[in-house]
Chains A and B, each alone.
Chain A
Amino acid sequence: MANHAPKTRIIKVFRYDPAVGGPGHFDRFELKTDDESLTTILDVLIRLQKTQDLSLAFRYACRVSMCGSCGMVINGREALACKTILADLKGEEVTIRPLNHFPVVKDLVVDMEPFFRKYEEGLTYFHAARERSEPAIIRPDSRERRVIESSTECIACGCCVSSCTMANWHKDYLGPAALNRVFTLLADSRDGLHEERLARSLGSCYHCRTELNCTEVCPKEISATRAIKYIQRLAAKEVLKPGSTVRSDLRELMPPQSTAPAALTPEPEDLLPAVPPPTLASRREFLSRTTLGIAALTIVFLGGVLAATALAPTLRKRPEKWVDVGQAEDFPAGSVKTAQIRYPVKDGFYESTVSKPVFVSHQENPDQFTVFNSRCTHLGCMLHWDDGKNLFICDCHGGQFKPDGVVKAGPPPRSMDRYLTMVQDGHLFVQEA
């Protein structure tokens, strides 16, 4: 039974102030509650805000676990603040931080835009198979309703996506919440987008590694794992079905079939004469050699696979990306100017814009632009151009570079890094990896 006596707890809350930026930090509060069994984490936050720090930000709306606004990570586990009772948390400390995989707006508030974008990508909306004027006759004990169960009660709180360790590794992974909705629609006989939806989720449903984190944390006790398994089975069946339209989409998504020459897999008859007549010693020797060979092959193969998986993303040839620096005429001959370049990068669920300065030098040769990376080659500090001294200067350790990028003084080991440049339609472009 819960303890009803007053108790003081240490509450550590993640803080991020958008006006300051940076990685954020934890603030430590002490809070005394009269009865922890009647206190939710949402109450804790409201009281902290009221009595200790008015700038504390968190999100909530309905406070009775119906809207899914207050999802956060409480003591290392995703939960709704309004549904988590303080007394149920063990230990002296309570740690509260925002959900994973979503940009943090302020303190515990995250931007849910990536969540809804992924959700939409799965065509997670009903589309009637045919015009009807009356609700369909579907028995509550019909197979489809027994399969769907209460999975339509998702409140889109994002806890499952935050708990999923695969969500930020696979760009095309729709995530547990979207796939759960896809599942309920695929199972719904009234829906008319079955094949399109299945095709959309094919590239996605096999990214699940059956860790069941989403199932564990769901505040509505819905199992997205169950939903994903259902889609996987449906997809497998669909692929085996002759004349399936989904199949062609799947082929595109699957790695190309290996076309190993038949000669490498010899017929059993060819194999037999090669084996020496079995004697006890030679048999043992043969078996141990074969096993050793298989083991070695396994190690080489698996090692290769592991190494390839680990290294491939870094070795993969990225498409050349030319980034616009600005109008070429804005950089008159004989000048060195600083310009900002911007381009989008995508990392899992999150898409952001990189913005960084570069130096455009139009001094060496009137026809040619040289664009320098703005980082010092010593330890990567930001350089700046000093017009008076006619030098690039690093404030960290006093490195100096001449206008052509060559080291003049200080610790830098080599000249400044240059970009490949190109002028097209009056615009100067640099190549960014």
Chain B
Amino acid sequence: MKKIRTDILIIGMGGAAQLAALNAFDANPDLNIVIVTKALQGKGGCSRMVQGGFNVVLNSADSHEKHLRDTLKGGQYINNQELAKTLVEQATPTIKEMETRYGCFFDRYPDGTVHQKPFAGQSFDRTVHKGDLTGIEIISRTTEQIMKRDIRILEECRALDLLADTTGREIVGALCVDIKQGDFFVVEAAATLVATGGGPTSYRFFAPGPEKTLDGMGMLYRAGVRMVDMEMLQFHPTGLIVPGSVVAGSLLEEGLRGAGAYMLNSLGERYMQRYDPVKMERTTRDVMSRSSFLEMMAGRDCEHGGVDMMAAHLGAEFVEKNFPGMYTRCKLFGYDLARKPVPVSPAAHFMMGGAVIDTACHTSLERLFAAGEDAGGVHGANRLGGNGIADSCVYGRQAGKSMAQYLKQERGIPQADERQIEHLAANYLAPFARTSGPSPLTLRDELREMNWTHVGIARTEEKLQQAIDIIEKIHEEVLMVQLTGTGGRAYNMVWQDWIALFNMLDVSRMISASALQRQETRGAHFRLDYPKQDDRYGLFNIFLNRGANGKPILEKRPVALKYMRPTDVVN
């Protein structure tokens, strides 16, 4: 098996991974850095798909304290305050470096200074953007910067599992597969960063690209990394419904509701008057998604099983001018956003939970770092729009600097355990030897459907209990999969889909177990059997580790209110 030995291994190539590579390289150009991405260079990851923008304090009338307060309020006070503080403070230098060092050009005010637009849940207009395609600008520019530097990119190579030393406490690299060739290879590294991003595509409706399959979190879990807040999965309220199409779930920007678009049920009612009569459609993502879901469950769903978003009353010209991207996306499928209602549904969008990290991105294992959506704790129970790309970029930058610092002392590249490698590789090849068994594509649909109905927007103890059993059942079937008729190992998409299922299953395990544990409603986590947020219940996070039987071992711990208490935040 081919082996690559390097100082730094970075898994993923979205915002967090790229910023980490750039910052590590700039801190010490002697470092050998290898990026492993399962997509083409710069084309994977969710950072590229960011539409809205990047929350950052640039104006002297704004302050880091205000941004922190908004973030904690949005996160329903269970954020890791240390991480949230670093996010808002480091966002400012990060966005400036984007402009001055990497060549991004964000939208400007007429006077030539950087424009900041309003976003939901914020006390100040602080979202930096480039039209409604902010992600393309950021990732295109940083990808070029990677090209400029001597950083090795292994594109269309998928990391399968992290490799531990014999004690299991130190990560020494990763086992990867070259998708184009179908061959395994090993990367051994002095420091490894997991920055694949999340992307909960394990649901019927999802917003991220289907190529995102929760690989990072699955890998981290299997390696024994400590995780946090896994029950916190954000549903975006307005994923476009396109029956039968893979485009289903792609988002219609939040700005539409901000501008005054209505959400209607099959009776044509603005149902938000039942759920949030004050803010109506301008409420936060969690409340909006939940309300839509309850309407759909109550049988007041529209033609395609969702609800309708109506923007016609804003004026056709206004919609076409201010939301050109959204207008054309709808138009592609014959929906007229400017004149008629458009069918939407809540769509699985973002994982607030992830690996436990400190502000230098260290995980609970030696030599292992995590950043971006793979890490948890920054956003608490609900993420604000515009804080996502900020998280990826800020913590990617932190991770890069931190790894360069770490390698000042520790430059030895450890050896991976050959037996572990062979064992893993054999497992991943097993389905090629079978001639009968279920199809991975059917099992994936089953898992998506099960997660949607059992561990979705509205959860109950009964359904969650069932989910935990169903996940194990699906897992057993996944182990029996056969790949007859899928061709050789080279660019075998169905084989890759099967591999992804393990990650989706592990994350589903973590979500359902944590969700069962949290007997209250908070942020994105909505329990039908405990429908009220109850602060007397206590502010705590749910931590977990993988147990010997593959199931998570959970631990509740109170939130450390280091900088702000909920009472400070509310006022």
Q: Could you list which residues of chain A lie within 8 angstroms of chain B, going by C-beta atoms?
A: 2, 17-19, 34-35, 37-40, 42-43, 46, 49-50, 53-64, 66-69, 82-83, 85, 105-107, 109, 111-112, 116, 119-120, 124-128, 131-142, 145, 150, 152-156, 181, 185, 188, 190-191
**B259 on interface, CB distance cutoff 8 Å:** no
Q: A2-B334, A69-B43 are in contact. Are A63 and B487 (CB under 8 A)?
A: no
Spell out B's residues near A (CB within 8 Å). Answer: 39-44, 48-49, 96, 99-103, 105-114, 131, 133, 135-137, 140-141, 144-145, 147-148, 155, 180, 209-211, 242-247, 250, 329, 332-334, 439, 441, 483, 485-488, 490-494
Q: What are 30 sample pairs from A and B whose C-beta atoms fall under 8 A apart?
A: A34-B244, A35-B244, A39-B244, A49-B493, A54-B487, A54-B494, A60-B246, A61-B40, A61-B43, A64-B247, A66-B133, A67-B48, A82-B247, A105-B180, A105-B491, A106-B491, A107-B491, A112-B155, A119-B147, A125-B145, A125-B147, A126-B144, A128-B101, A128-B103, A135-B99, A135-B113, A140-B110, A141-B110, A150-B131, A156-B42
Q: Is the CB of A152 within 8 A of B105?
A: yes
CA gap between A53 and B487 in the complex, in Å: 10
Contacts of B103 in A (CB 8 A): 125-128, 185, 188, 190-191
Main secondary structure of the interface of A (DSSP, over half): loop
Which residues of A are found within 8 Å of B109, using beta-carbon distances? 140
Assess whether A109 is in contact with B49, with CB atoms less than 8 Å apart.
no
- Contact yes or no, B48 A62, CB < 8 A: yes
Question: B518 to nearest A CB, angstroms?
Answer: 32
Cβ contact within 8 Å between B488 and A18: yes
Residues of B within 8 A of A63 (CB): 209-210, 246-247, 250
A42 CB contacts on chain B under 8 angstroms: 246-247
- Among candidates B140, B243, B329, residue contacting A155 with C-beta atoms closer than 8 Å: B140
B114 to chain A: closest residue by CB: A135
Find A60's partner among B99, B105, B210, B329 (CB 8 Å cutoff): B210
CA distance A376 to B485 in the complex (A): 40
Please tell me if the beta carbons of B244 and A132 are within 8 angstroms of each other in the complex.
no
Nearest Cβ on chain B to A338's Cβ, whole angstroms: 28
Q: A137-B111, A190-B100 are in contact. List 12 more A-B contacts (CB 8 A).
A: A18-B488, A37-B333, A62-B49, A64-B209, A66-B136, A67-B43, A82-B247, A107-B491, A125-B144, A132-B100, A140-B108, A152-B105
**Contacts of B140 on A, CB cut-off 8 Å?**
152, 154-156
List of 5 A-B pairs having minimum Cβ-Cβ separation, nearest first: A126-B103, A55-B487, A62-B209, A125-B144, A135-B99
Contacts of B114 in A (CB 8 A): 135
User: Shortest distance in angstroms between A118's beta carbon and chain B's nearest beta carbon?
Assistant: 12
| B residues in contact with A107, CB < 8 Å | 491
Contacts of B41 in A (CB 8 A): 116
Work out how many contacts link A and B, with CB atoms closer than 8 A.
192
Give bound CA distance, A34 to B244, whole Å: 9
Min Cβ gap A370→B in Å is 39
Cα of A55 to Cα of B490 in the assembled complex, Å:
10
A120 to chain B minimum Cβ distance, whole angstroms, is 5
Q: How far is the CA of A2 from the CA of B135 in the complex (A)?
A: 32
Q: Judge whether A128 and B100 touch: CB under 8 Å.
A: yes
How many whole Å from B190's CB to the nearest CB in chain A? 27
Q: Is the beta-carbon distance between A67 and B44 smaller than 8 angstroms?
A: yes
Q: How far is the CB of B375 from chain A (nearest CB, A)?
A: 22
Q: How far is the CA of A284 from the CA of B113 in the complex (A)?
A: 72
B196 to chain A, nearest CB (A): 13
Q: Are A40 and B133 in contact (CB under 8 A)?
A: no
Q: In the complex, which residues of chain A have a beta carbon less than 8 angstroms from the beta carbon of B105?
A: 138, 145, 152, 188
Q: Who on chain B is nearest to A141 by CB?
A: B110
- Asked if residues B243 and A38 are in contact (CB atoms below 8 Å), the reply is yes
How far apart are B452's CB and chain A's nearest CB, in angstroms? 19
Say which residue of B100, B137, B145, B250 sits within 8 Å of A152 (CB atoms): B137
Q: Max chain A CB contacts within 10 Å: which of B131, B180, B332? A: B332
Q: Which residue of B lies closest to A19 (CB)?
A: B488
Q: In the complex, are the beta carbons of A133 and B96 less than 8 A apart?
A: yes
| Known pairs A85-B332, A128-B100, A152-B105; A57 contacts B244 (CB<8 A) | no
Q: B148 and A125: CB pair below 8 A? A: yes
Most chain B CB within a 10 A radius of its CB, from A34, A58, A134: A134
Report A196 CB to chain B, min CB distance, Å: 13
Residues in chain A near residue B131, CB distance under 8 A? 150
Query: What residues of B have a CB within 8 angstroms of the CB of A112 in the complex?
Result: 40, 155
Given known A-B contacts A38-B333, A134-B100, A191-B103, A155 and B136 have beta carbons under 8 A apart: yes
Query: Which residue of B is nearest A124, CB measured?
Result: B144
Q: State in angstroms the CA–CA spacing of A109 and B99 once bound together.
A: 34
Tell me the complex Cα distance, A35–B144, Å: 40
The answer to whether A59 and B40 touch (CB under 8 A), given A124-B144, A132-B100, A156-B140, is yes
Residues from chain B with a CB closer than 8 A to the CB of A62 are 43, 48-49, 209, 211
Contacts of B494 in A (CB 8 A): 49, 54-55
CA distance A112 to B439 in the complex (A): 30
Q: Which residues of A contact B141 (CB under 8 A)?
A: 126
Return the contact of B209 from the options A61, A124, A137, A185 (Cβ within 8 A): A61
B112, B210, B485: the one contacting A55 at CB < 8 Å is B485
Are A19 and B108 interface neighbours, CB within 8 A? no
Alpha-carbon distance A363/B211, docked complex (angstroms) = 61
Q: Is A109 in contact with B43, judged by CB distance below 8 angstroms?
A: no
Q: Contact between B490 and A37 (Cβ–Cβ < 8 Å)? A: no
In the assembled complex, how far is the CB of residue A90 from the closest CB belonging to chain B, in whole angstroms?
17
Indicate the member of A111, A135, A150 with the most B CB atoms within 10 Å. Answer: A135
Contact A50 B334 (CB under 8 A): no
Hey, which chain B residues are within 8 Å of A60, CB to CB?
A: 209-211, 246
Whether A126 contacts B102 by the Cβ 8 Å rule is yes
**Minimal beta-carbon separation of B47 from chain A (angstroms):** 10
A142, B108: Cα distance in complex, Å: 11
With a CB–CB cut-off of 8 A, which chain A residues contact B329? 64
Interface pair A140/B107, CB less than 8 Å apart: yes
Knowing A57-B493, A66-B49, A142-B112 are in contact, say whether A153-B244 is a contact too (CB < 8 A). no
Contact B49 A19 (CB under 8 A): no
CA distance in complex: A56, B144 (Å): 32
- What distance in Å separates the Cβ of B543 from its nearest Cβ neighbour in chain A? 32
| Residue from B112, B441, B486 within 8 A of A139 (CB atoms) | B112
Specify which chain B residues have a CB less than 8 angstroms from the CB of A126 in the assembled complex.
Answer: 101-103, 141, 144-145
Within the complex, the shortest CB–CB distance from A39 to chain B, in Å, comes to 6
A64 contact set on B, CB distance < 8 A = 49, 209, 247, 250, 329
Name which residue of chain B comes closest to A107, CB basis: B491
Q: Which A residues touch B148, using CB under 8 A? A: 125, 127
Whose C-beta in chain A lies nearest to the C-beta of B241? A38
- CB-based contact B334/A19 at 8 Å: no
Contacts of B487 in A (CB 8 A): 17, 19, 54-55, 57, 106
Q: How far is the CA of A134 from the CA of B96 in the complex (A)?
A: 6
Query: Do A54 and B485 form a contact, CB below 8 Å, given A85-B333, A152-B105?
Result: yes
What separation, in Å, do the CA atoms of A38 and B39 have in the docked complex? Answer: 26
- Docked complex Cα distance between A136 and B100 (Å): 8
Q: Are B242 and A68 in contact (CB under 8 A)?
A: no
Contact assessment for B112 and A137 in the assembled complex, using a CB-CB cutoff below 8 Å = yes
Complexed CA–CA distance, A119 and B148 (Å):
11
CA of A62 to CA of B329 in the docked complex: distance in angstroms? 14
Nearest CB on B from A239, distance (A): 27
Q: Are A153 and B133 in contact (CB under 8 A)?
A: yes
Question: In whole Å, how far is A78's beta carbon from the nearest beta carbon of chain B?
Answer: 16
Measured CA separation A190–B245 after assembly (Å) = 43
Contacts of B99 in A (CB 8 A): 135-136
Q: Which residues of B contact A53 (CB under 8 A)?
A: 485
Across-interface contacts of A135 in B (CB, < 8 A): 96, 99-100, 106, 113-114
Taking the nearest CB of chain B, how far is it from the CB of A302, in angstroms? 43
Tell me which residues across on chain A come within 8 A of B42, comparing CB atoms.
156
Q: A38-B242, A38-B334 in contact; A19/B490 too (CB < 8 A)?
A: yes
Residues of the B chain whose Cβ atoms lie less than 8 Å from the Cβ of A136: 99-100, 112
Give min CB distance, A109 to chain B, whole Å.
5
Question: Which B residues touch A39, using CB under 8 A?
Answer: 244-245
Cβ-closest chain A residue relative to B42: A156
B209, A67: Cβ atoms closer than 8 Å: yes
